[in-house]
Amino acid sequence: MTQTTARVPQEERSRAMRARLLEACVELLVERGFAGTTTTLVSERAGVSRGAQLHHFPSKNDLVFAAVEHVTNVRGDELAAAASRLPGGTRRTRAVLEMLADHFTSPVFTAALELWVAARTDADLLAEVAPLEQRVGRDTHRLTVELLGADESLPGVRELVQATLDLVRGLGLASTITDDTRRRMRILDRWAEILEEQLA
Amino acid sequence: MTQTTARVPQEERSRAMRARLLEACVELLVERGFAGTTTTLVSERAGVSRGAQLHHFPSKNDLVFAAVEHVTNVRGDELAAAASRLPGGTRRTRAVLEMLADHFTSPVFTAALELWVAARTDADLLAEVAPLEQRVGRDTHRLTVELLGADESLPGVRELVQATLDLVRGLGLASTITDDTRRRMRILDRWAEILEEQLA
pLDDT in tens, A85-138: 999 888 899 999 999 999 999 998 999 999 999 999 999 999 999 999 999 999
A163 and B162 within 8 Å at the Cβ level: the answer is: no
From chain A, the residues in CB contact with B167 under 8 A are: 163, 166-167, 170
pLDDT value at B136 more than 60: yes
pLDDT value for A3: 57
Nearest to A136 by CA among A160, A157, A115, A118: A115
pLDDT value for A2: 52
B117 and A121 within 8 Å at the Cβ level: the answer is: no
> How many CA atoms lie less than 13 Å away from B37 in the CB half-sphere?
31
Calculate the average pLDDT of chain A: 91
From chain A, the residues in CB contact with B110 under 8 A are: 120
Task: Say how many CB pairs under 8 Å bridge A and B.
Answer: 121
Q: What percent of chain B has pLDDT over 90?
A: 77
Give the residue from chain A lying closest to B113, CA to CA.
Answer: A117
Q: Nearest-CA distance from A190 to chain B in Å?
A: 6
pLDDT value for A177: 81
B166 and A163 within 8 Å at the Cβ level: the answer is: no
pLDDT value at B5 more than 70: no
B159 and A198 within 8 Å at the Cβ level: the answer is: no
Higher pLDDT, B7 or A109: A109
Alpha carbon of A130 to those of A72, A117, A162: distances in Å? 14, 12, 18
Tell me the pLDDT tens digit for each residue of A181-193. Answer: 999 999 999 999 9
Q: Nearest-CA distance from B89 to chain A in Å?
A: 22
From chain B, the residues in CB contact with A173 under 8 A are: 116, 169-170, 173
Q: What's the pLDDT band for A150 if we cut at 50, 70, 90?
A: very high
Tell me the pLDDT tens digit for each residue of B89-118. Answer: 889 999 999 999 999 999 989 999 999 999
pLDDT value for B170: 95
Kindly give, in sequence order, each residue whose CB lies less than 8 Å from that of residue A25, ignoring residues fewer than 6 positions away.
A37, A42, A46, A63, A64, A66, A67
CA separation for the pair A130, A108 (Å, rounded): 17
A174 and B162 within 8 Å at the Cβ level: the answer is: no
Higher pLDDT, B197 or A78: B197
pLDDT value for A72: 86
Q: What's the pLDDT band for B178 if we cut at 50, 70, 90?
A: confident
Q: Nearest-CA distance from B81 to chain A in Å?
A: 25
pLDDT value for B169: 95
pLDDT value for B4: 59
pLDDT value for B189: 97
Average pLDDT of the residues in B43-50: 96
Give the residue from B190, B191, B193, B198 with the most A CB atoms within 10 Å of its CB, the best one to mutate. Answer: B190
pLDDT value at B3 more than 70: no
pLDDT value at A4 more than 70: no
Average pLDDT of the residues in B51-60: 94
A190 and B156 within 8 Å at the Cβ level: the answer is: yes
Burial class (CB in 10 A: 0-12, 13-18, 19+), B43: buried
Q: What's the pLDDT band for A5 if we cut at 50, 70, 90?
A: low
pLDDT value at B17 more than 90: yes
Give the residue from chain B lying closest to A182, CA to CA.
Answer: B159
pLDDT value at B2 more than 90: no
Calculate the average pLDDT of chain B: 92
pLDDT value at A153 more than 80: yes
pLDDT value for B67: 92
From chain B, the residues in CB contact with A119 under 8 A are: 177
B32 and A194 within 8 Å at the Cβ level: the answer is: no
Amino acid at residue number B34 = F
Instruction: Evaluate whether B141 touches B163 at the Cβ level (below 8 Å).
Output: no
| Cβ density class A129-165: b for 16+ within 10 Å, e for less | beebbeebbeebbebbbebbebeeeeebbbbbbbbbb
